Amino acid sequence: MRRPSARVNAALAALDRAELRKTPQRIAVVHALVDDTSHPTAQQIFDRLRRQMPTMSFATVYNTLAALERAGVCRSLRLSHDDSARFDPMVEPHDHAVCDRCGRVLDVPRARERAEIQEFRVRAVERVYRGECQQCQSIGGS
Partner DNA sequence: ATGATGGTTTAGAATCATTCTTGGTTACAA
Partner DNA sequence: TTGTAACCAAGAATGATTCTAAACCATCAT
Binding site for DNA (CB under 7 A): 20-21, 23-26, 41-43, 53, 55-60, 62-64, 66, 78, 81-82, 84-85
H/E segment holding residue 77: strand 75-77
For the beta carbon of residue 126, count every other beta carbon within 10 angstroms. Answer: 8
Residues 22 and 29: their CA atoms lie apart, in Å, by 11
Q: Interface with Mn ion includes 33 (CB under 5 A)?
A: no
Instruction: Tell me how many degrees the CA angle 38-32-9 measures, rounded to the nearest 5.
Output: 110
Contact code string over 90-119 relative to Mn ion, x by CB under 5 A? x----------------x------------
N-to-C CA span, the chain = 45
Q: Interface with its own copies includes 91 (CB under 8 A)?
A: no
Q: Interface with its own copies includes 119 (CB under 8 A)?
A: yes
Least separation in angstroms between residue 36's CB and Zn ion is 18
By a kind-dependent CB cut-off of 5 to 8 A, residue 44 interacts, out of Mn ion, its own copies, DNA, none, with none
**Residue 44 C-alpha from the chain's centroid:** 13
Task: Identify which of residues 56 and 74 has a Cβ nearer to its own copies in the complex.
Answer: 74
Least separation in angstroms between residue 43's CB and DNA is 6
- Say what angle helices 42-52 and 58-70 make with each other, to 10 degrees: 110
